[in-house]
């Protein structure tokens, strides 16, 4: 098979690595890819939002399967473009990717189908949002831009002043662009967060092993929200009881709700959960693998990813026995100092050869490129260093040891990824 992967981050590197292990696959393309993905795939210089060019490329090169890694093209309808040309593609159509593309949609869906989530109101008029905040709100409170905002459109406001500033930022100044035309105001919840990714074929859902992300930039969960600074898998807080609850009240009900709405969902659903004292509740849905969740979940997956994705497309996921290794993995992101605000790029990187031939150690590239034959930094999150171990502590020790193998001048990382393990 020839497979095309769309995207250029650490998640797509993990997907490319996983696809490269499939005995069914003999050629991988990635658009646009990065310097690490280039090890398994021929990188093609087409942007993830250039749907027609992507589909033209798939047609011209007789690609058998295209995998969409990123949210923007899914929400924009790239799958519809591929399907209209009879091309096989993994991911939800536009009418289903709205599960991630609109937080107001997903909240209304959960309410209608009784899926546990935080109490909320949707607003498309800033005056009404302000009136609500001044009269009915309890603080802290959460403001969310409706649309995609690189994981940054969520503001946790401690008091009315912060919330008023937040409404201005999201709805009036349009800090997150059109994503802020509508806003969700949501009850603040407390508890452990856990990410559960799943494969879905329209009717059947098979969940993957759990993971936990670290969204803040600095140690101790301080600093700004980022795309994710590191992950571990499995989450020791995701117990059998939590899983049973979510299988019954969250996962299958979400798939059934989408089908009932005429928005059959095929692809990945990422459930962002909060384990509150009143039980698990949905924080958010994503319509794709998490980044960097994929970097700890995929190295633990036993199945041939291509076989599972084809089963999702064909509606035969019920016949797949999804299995994960009985081990653990930790991923530590090496970022450019200053991320997520301002940082330098094109800094030479060294040490990639240290990963050669080392089983259980991975360097997934997120923001890298080649410049004059040398690998240089090309983003805020630069690489994700993943290591496995027989348990979480060992995996963490291994991952932090391997973070030393890669060097670049403005290297920055958190030193407490997986610290929660000690409290489990």
Binding site for ligand GLY (CB under 6 A): 151, 213, 228, 286, 290-291, 293
Sign of CA dihedral 261, 263, 267, 271: negative
Residue 55's H or E segment, with its range, is helix 51-60
Q: Concatenate the DSSP letters of all residues of 105-132 into one string.
A: HHHHHHHHTT--B--EEEES-HHHHHHH
Give the shortest CB-233-to-ligand GLY separation in angstroms.
12
Is the preceding peptide bond at 399 cis, omega within 30 degrees of 0? no
Q: Within positions 274 to 313, which residues make up the interface with ligand AMP, using CB under 6 A?
A: 283-284
| Nearer Cβ to ligand GLY (228/253) | 228
Residue 118 contacts ligand AMP per CB under 6 A: yes
CB of 228 to ligand GLY, least distance (A): 3
81 binds, among ligand GLY, ligand AMP, none (CB under 5 to 8 A by kind): none
310 binds, among ligand GLY, ligand AMP, none (CB under 5 to 8 A by kind): none
142 binds, among ligand GLY, ligand AMP, none (CB under 5 to 8 A by kind): ligand AMP
Rank residues 81 and 293 by Cβ distance to ligand GLY and give the closer one.
Answer: 293
Q: Report the residue closest to ligand AMP, judged by CB.
A: 284
Instruction: Print burial letters for 46-62: b (CB count within 10 Å at least 16), e (below 16).
Output: bebebbeebbebbeeee
Binding status of residue 157 toward ligand AMP by CB under 6 A: no
> Is residue 337 a contact partner of residue 53, using CB atoms and an 8 Å limit?
no
Least Å from the CB of residue 39 to ligand AMP: 31
* Token pair for 135: 């009269």
How many residues are given for the chain? 424
- With CB cut-offs between 5 and 8 Å by kind, which of ligand AMP, ligand GLY, none does residue 146 bind? none
Map the footprint of ligand AMP across residues 213-232, applying CB under 6 A.
215
Does position 392 interact with ligand AMP (CB under 6 A)? The reply is no
**189 is an interface residue for ligand AMP by CB under 6 A:** yes
Please report how close the Cβ of residue 273 comes to ligand AMP at its closest, in angstroms: 10
Number of helical H runs and strand E runs in the chain: 13, 24
The nearer residue to ligand AMP, 189 or 259, going by C-beta atoms, is 189
**Smallest distance from ligand GLY to CB 286, Å:** 5
Helix (H, G, I), strand (E, B) or coil at 362: strand
Q: Which two tokens stand for residue 33?
A: 């890819």
Q: How far is the CB of 293 from ligand GLY (least distance, A)?
A: 6
Which residue lies nearer to ligand GLY by CB, 202 or 292?
292
* Angle subtended at Cα 291 by Cα 286 and Cα 293, rounded to the nearest 5 degrees: 90
The pair of structure tokens assigned to 352 is: 């990639």
| Contacted entry of ligand AMP, ligand GLY, none for residue 286, CB cut-off 5 to 8 Å set by kind | ligand GLY
Minimal distance, residue 219 CB to ligand GLY, in Å? 18
Categorise residue 114: left if φ over 0, alpha if ψ from -120 to 50, beta otherwise. left
Half-sphere exposure of 192 (CA within 13 A, CB side): 20
Q: Pick one of 162, 165, 193, 219: the residue that binds ligand AMP (CB under 6 A).
A: 193
Closest CA to 332 of 419, 202, 244, 206: 419
Q: How far apart are CA 101 and CA 35, in angstroms?
A: 29
Per CB under 6 A, 137 contacts ligand AMP: no
Contact by Cβ (8 Å): 410, 336 = yes
Contacts with ligand AMP by CB under 6 A lie at 118, 142, 151, 154, 156, 186-189, 193, 215, 272, 283-284
């Amino acid at each position: 098979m020839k497979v095309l992967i769309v995207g250029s981050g650490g998640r797509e590197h993990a997907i490319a690595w996983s696809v490269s292990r499939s005995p069914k696959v003999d050629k991988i393309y990635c658009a646009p890819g990065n310097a690490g993905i280039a090890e398994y795939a021929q990188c093609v210089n087409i942007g993830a939002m250039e749907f027609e060019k992507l589909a033209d490329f798939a047609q011209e090169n007789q690609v058998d399967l295209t995998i969409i890694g990123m949210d923007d093209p899914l929400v924009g309808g790239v799958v519809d473009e591929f399907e209209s040309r009879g091309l096989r593609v993994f991911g939800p159509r536009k009418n289903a990717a709205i599960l991630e593309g609109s937080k107001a949609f997903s909240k209304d869906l959960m309410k209608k189908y009784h899926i546990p989530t935080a109490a909320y109101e949707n607003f498309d008029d800033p005056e009404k949002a302000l009136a609500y905040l001044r009269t009915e709100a309890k603080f802290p409170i959460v403001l969310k831009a409706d649309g995609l905002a690189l994981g940054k459109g969520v503001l946790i406001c401690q008091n009315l002043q912060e919330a008023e500033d937040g409404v201005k930022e999201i709805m009036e100044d349009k800090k997150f662009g059109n994503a802020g035309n509508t806003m969700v105001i949501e009850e603040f919840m407390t508890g452990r967060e856990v990410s559960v990714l799943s494969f879905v074929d329209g009717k059947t859902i098979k969940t993957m092993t759990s993971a936990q992300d670290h969204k803040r930039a600095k140690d101790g969960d301080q600093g700004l929200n980022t795309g994710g600074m590191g992950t571990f898998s499995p989450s020791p807080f995701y117990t059998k009881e939590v899983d049973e609850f979510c299988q019954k009240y969250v996962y299958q009900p979400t798939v059934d709700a989408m089908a009932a709405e005429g928005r059959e969902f095929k692809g990945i659903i990422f459930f962002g959960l909060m384990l509150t004292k009143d039980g698990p509740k949905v924080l958010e849905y994503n319509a794709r693998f998490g980044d960097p969740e994929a970097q700890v979940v995929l190295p633990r997956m036993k199945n041939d990813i291509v076989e599972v994705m084809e089963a999702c497309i064909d509606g035969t996921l019920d016949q797949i026995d999804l299995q994960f290794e009985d081990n653990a993995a930790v991923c530590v992101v090496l970022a450019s100092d200053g991320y997520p605000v301002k940082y330098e790029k094109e800094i030479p990187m060294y040490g990639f050869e240290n990963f050669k031939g080392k089983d259980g150690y991975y360097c997934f590239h997120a923001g890298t490129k080649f410049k004059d034959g040398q690998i240089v930094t090309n983003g805020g999150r630069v690489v994700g260093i993943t290591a496995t171990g027989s348990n979480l502590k060992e995996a963490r020790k291994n991952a932090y040891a391997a973070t030393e193998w890669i060097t670049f001048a403005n290297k920055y990382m958190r030193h407490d990824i997986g610290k929660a393990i000690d409290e489990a």
